[in-house]
Structure 1
Amino acid sequence: MEWQVSILIERLIAAHRLLNREIRRELARRAPDSSRLTRLKKERLAIKDRLFRHFPDAAEMRRIARGAIARARHA
């Protein structure tokens, strides 16, 4: 059960990072699409809310996120 939660957390973190990248990419465009930015930001916030449901303590969530990011970089 614990490994399933870990996989879920890692997938949520990966999705959050991807959305961050997409938001930065959209903002870098000459004429950013405001409706796309709004949608991306809402998706990112929904993911963040799901993460905080599993880890209401922000410090613990950051620790888990750093570990997941480090593992993803080395994979």
Structure 2
Amino acid sequence: MNIMLDRLIAAHRALNREIAGEVSRRVPDALRLATLKKRRLAIKDRLHRQLAAKIAKASNAARGRSPSTT
């Protein structure tokens, strides 16, 4: 896996831990939770785009096409 994917996965996991910690508080901060969840969703979107690009590139390479012809 490449470095960008590793960093995105690590950031997503860290946000999951922060969200779980906030939810487990006696009185969770709703604004902080919303912010954390938005950040997590943004990272998830970037992660999916990176994976889709990597899969498309591998698929094109398997077919013998260059990425610029797609």
The question of a shared fold, defined as TM-score above 0.5 by the shorter chain, is answered with yes
Q: CA deviation at 1:24?
A: 0.2
Which ranges of structure 2 fall in alignment gaps of 5 or more residues?
56-70
Structure 1 residues not aligned, in runs of 5+: 61-75
The structure with more radius of gyration: 2
Alignment match, 2:41: 45
* Deviation of 1:55 (Å): 1.6
The CA RMSD measured in Å over matched residues stands at 1.5
Task: Give 3-state SS (helix, strand or coil) of 2:28's partner.
Answer: coil
Once residues 7 and 50 of structure 2 are traced to their aligned partners in structure 1, the CA distance between those partners, rounded to angstroms, is: 13
Q: Which runs of 4+ in 1 moved over 4 A?
A: none
Structure 1 match to 2:20: 24
Percent same amino acid at aligned positions? 60
Question: Pairwise mapping of residues 1-75 of structure 1 onto structure 2 (< 5 A)?
Answer: 6-56=2-52
TM-score by structure 1 length? Answer: 0.67
Size of the aligned set, in residue pairs, is 53
